[in-house]
Amino acid sequence: MQKRILGKSGLEVSALGLGCMGMSFSYGPPKDKQEMISLLRTAVERGITFFDTAEVYGPFTNEELVGEALAPLRDRVVIATKFGFDTSVDPRAMKGSGPVLNSRPEHIREVAEASLKRLRTDVIDLFYQHRVDPAVPIEEVAGAVKELIREGKVKHFGLSEAGIETIRRAHAVQPVACVQNEYSLWFRRPEEGLLQTLEELGIGLVPYSPLGKGYLTGKMDEKTTFDSTDFRSTLPRFTPEALKANQAMVDLLGRIAAEKNATPAQIALAWLLAQKPWIVPIPGTTKLERLDENIGAVAVELTADDLREIDSAAAQITVQGNRYPEKLEQLTGR
């Protein structure tokens, strides 16, 4: 597995990471714990060193799973987790009035201490603010993480779905190693200033949902239905009408995949990897065959002509449907 360094932070990780959320949360019922432990350990054997979790996934159960699975391999992996939600409020409330945020410095410290225990480690490699809390100045958030870094409890600071000005202000207090944002052929908003800002400041980008929450794999159509425990059942982009309208994007990936003897998912990931050398996507999966398929994307080479062809074709496609309900969309870009 190739390695990449996230910006100027010196944080070296595998070119692809593994998003662990779906093993416990958001994509239907939690998966079998022993199967997921096996999958996580197999990922390490396959060369993946970068694992993404958060206290709110479950809540708590995903961190516990990742901690148990990776404890015997701790010196070989980089573990990222997140703070910023009030987990005393049922996370299912996110579907209704929206989640409750809490990035007060004392709460950040409480989360760090609890996450360290669940992750069975003495240091968090990368600690993200999950969503920007407008009630707490970002300078105070960065200062709280800076203190945890000084104490040796955290190694690197990250932000998720933060606005450009927020990133600049945070970075001035405590260098930001990377920003985690949704980014894929299906959602290209980071190209509207964010990528340029990260390049200027020397900050890495960790795209989540690089396969469009599964849509870009080509395994869905307008007849696809989602369980009520599946987060996608609430998303405007996953209505039957939107799934049908957006088929053109999957068709494009399928055409390129056929030329490259690859799969649509591999082309979608290879396209991301080709954008910048400091981009590290974190596709999630609960299946070994999908893990191997995703890893195969690292070996897919897209030439400059390929990338121009993809961009030209993608520019003709207007993606239908918002990515989040309004309450969740309001938490991004602040």
**By three-state DSSP, how is residue 330 classified?**
coil
Q: In sequence order, what are the beta bridge partners of 52?
A: 19, 80
Do residues 84 and 110 touch, judged by C-beta distance below 8 A? no
Number of C-alpha atoms within 13 angstroms, CB side, residue 80?
30
End-to-end CA distance of the chain: 35
User: Is 128 marked active-site?
Assistant: no
Amino acid at 104: R
- What single-letter DSSP state applies at residue 69? H
Helix (H) or strand (E) holding 6: strand 3-6
Residue spans of alpha helices (H) in the chain: 33-45, 61-70, 105-118, 138-150, 164-173, 194-201, 240-245, 247-260, 264-275, 288-296, 304-315, 326-329
Sign, CA dihedral 163-167-168-173, equals: positive
Active-site option among 27, 57, 183, 208: 57
DSSP string computed for 143-204: HHHHHHHHTTSEEEEEEES--HHHHHHHHHHS-EEEEEEE-BTTB-GGGTTHHHHHHHHT-E
**Is omega for the bond preceding 59 within 30 degrees of 0, making it cis?**
yes
Active site residues: 57
